[in-house]
Amino acid sequence: MKSIPEIISSLPYEDPFLFVDDLLEIDQDSCTGTYSVRENEYFFEGHFPGNPVVPGVILTEIMAQIGLVCFGIYLKDSPTPLLPAFTNANIDFLVNVKPGDELIIVSKKIYFRFNKLKCHITCSLKNGPIVARGECSGMLINREIEKT
């Protein structure tokens, strides 16, 4: 199995669209990671001026990068680079996330078969309430296959 640094370095994202700071725990059944929302995130510029809030689509992306992509890289344990394909989300948003908030994402596997991963993912403020929760699914495809 890949180590946490190997998983993070395998992610197919880079700044400003990398939303994984660290993975705290990962095993066959669950994954826990963190992301700290920076004060100068690009999406705050227009959402909402004077009262910035992390858009739900970005919260979904944070949850998917940690709870599906990192988790899937660990579970698939492929020597070839993987391309994530997000397939479904059903997320409830409960609390606004602001600049400077630290998030803890916990993903629990529902199933992983035929390269499709479905998880129940919870996003919480560090030492605080749940801000979003729901089910997400996606697939991991070998990048080399996609190029042909």
User: Cα–chain-centroid distance for residue 28?
Assistant: 17
From the candidates 47, 108, 116, 120, give the one annotated as an active-site residue.
Answer: 47
Sequence-ordered alpha helix ranges (H) in the chain: 4-10, 56-64, 71-76, 143-146
Q: How far is CA 34 from CA 3, 46, 51, 70, 121, in A?
A: 16, 25, 23, 12, 13
- Closest by Cα among 81, 37, 90 to 62: 37
CB 138, CB 69: distance < 8 Å = yes
- For residue 47, indicate whether it is catalytic: yes
Point out the residues that are catalytic. 47
